[in-house]
Amino acid sequence: MDHIKQDKLRASLSLDLDNEWSYLKIQGNSRWESLPTYFPVFIPYVLELFKRLQLNVTFFIVGQDLTIPENIPYLKKIIEEGHSVANHSMNHESWLSAYSEEQLFHEVYETDSLIRKHLECKPIGFRGPGYSWNPKLIRILREQNYVYDSSVLPTFIGPIARWYYFKKSGLGREEQKKRKNFFGKFSDGFKKNKPFHLNGDGRKLIEIPVTTMPVFRLPFHLSYLIYMHGYSPFLMNTYLEIVIRLCKTFRIEPNFLIHPLDLIGGDQLASLDFFPGMDIDSNKKTKVFYKVITTLQTHFRLMSLDSYVLELIAEGRMTID
Ligand SMILES: [Zn+2]
């Protein structure tokens, strides 16, 4: 029995804590500049949900949110509930791939200092906004004692997702140009779907890509599953079963990504009710989440992304220098 338990693959969970203003910023809506926050509604809601499912999750936090005093007690609750926090950049700008070394340093360092100051812990993971990544990050992250990055989405459909997003948003040509790598490049589909080492300037960092469907490289994060569920619950269940089967065949331990709007609807966040998918109410989204999580639980040992990386290191499967 013990042997079977040991053999069970793991799956890691993380949530990108994009706030109300970052969603507005992504859309090119100038209302973002006053930094509206939905943490007082969202954080207690999501913590209760995770508690009921006994989940341990790594929350990727945007530094800018730690400059708003109103947010601090809510962010502290995440730590008090036993979850971990990681770095999701300072300004949540999806054109991070075009940043200079100095700008990148600022994006990582400012958030890191704010997390240490207000939440009294040291993040070990980083994720770029909108799957944007920059090779200069390897050295910058290692110098600040980061262990892993989790920005890569190995899918071919990034350019299609971007085209759709531009079409739906009110962004002008200049704004679109800035976001030209948003959702990644076609070649990202050839990147590894399993943890790998990134090497840069003699430094080594661990990359944990956001898992996509093995072989076909289609997205598998919660937003995509919710979207499918809108068409047909049967389609989503079948898709989920196929992804799980393929992951087990190829011994891929899924890195499962959650976004706030996957869990909460326009019924609770009226200010974002014009967003795609916000017409689905929170109850329905929660039901889909329960279904996905309980299915994953029967096949994998679920844990936070931070714990997963630390286990890989402890087992000697991944190393840092
Ligand atoms: Zn984000």
Query: What is the distance in A from the centroid of ligand 1 to the CA of 134?
Result: 16
Distance CA 39, CA 31 (A): 17
Query: What is the distance in A from the centroid of ligand 1 to the CA of 163?
Result: 18
Per-residue model confidence (pLDDT) at position 223: 86
Query: What is the distance in A from the centroid of ligand 1 to the CA of 37?
Result: 14
Per-residue model confidence (pLDDT) at position 36: 94
What's the pTM? 0.90
Query: What is the distance in A from the centroid of ligand 1 to the CA of 18?
Result: 5
Query: What is the distance in A from the centroid of ligand 1 to the CA of 103?
Result: 18
Question: Pairing mode, if any, of strands 125-126 and 10-16?
Answer: unpaired
Those residues whose C-beta lies under 8 Å from the C-beta of residue 24, and which sit 6 or more positions away, are 31, 32, 36
Query: What is the distance in A from the centroid of ligand 1 to the CA of 300?
Result: 26
Query: What is the distance in A from the centroid of ligand 1 to the CA of 6?
Result: 33
Q: Angle CA(12)–CA(300)–CA(258) in degrees, nearest 5?
A: 35
Protein residues near ligand 1, an ion, with CB under 5 A: 16, 18, 129
Query: What is the distance in A from the centroid of ligand 1 to the CA of 321?
Result: 28
Query: What is the distance in A from the centroid of ligand 1 to the CA of 23?
Result: 8
Distance CA 83, CA 212 (A): 24
Return the number of other C-beta atoms located less than 10 Å from residue 79's C-beta.
Answer: 16
Could you tell me the end-to-end alpha-carbon distance of the chain, in angstroms, rounded to an integer? 36
The encoded tokens of residue 34 equal: 């006053």
Distance CA 152, CA 193 (A): 9
Query: What is the distance in A from the centroid of ligand 1 to the CA of 129?
Result: 4
Distance CA 121, CA 86 (A): 10
Query: What is the distance in A from the centroid of ligand 1 to the CA of 259?
Result: 8
Per-residue model confidence (pLDDT) at position 214: 83
Distance CA 148, CA 312 (A): 11
pLDDT in single tens digits along all 321 residues of the chain: 445 555 799 999 999 999 999 988 888 889 999 999 999 999 999 999 999 999 999 999 999 999 999 999 999 999 999 999 999 999 998 888 889 999 999 999 999 999 999 999 999 999 999 888 888 999 999 999 999 999 988 776 666 666 666 666 666 777 777 666 666 666 666 678 899 999 888 889 999 999 888 877 788 888 889 888 988 999 999 999 999 999 999 999 999 999 999 999 999 998 887 788 888 889 999 999 999 999 999 999 999 999 999 999 999 999 988
Query: What is the distance in A from the centroid of ligand 1 to the CA of 125?
Result: 14
Query: What is the distance in A from the centroid of ligand 1 to the CA of 25?
Result: 11
Per-residue model confidence (pLDDT) at position 132: 83
Phi, psi dihedral angles at 28 (to 5 degrees)? 80, 25
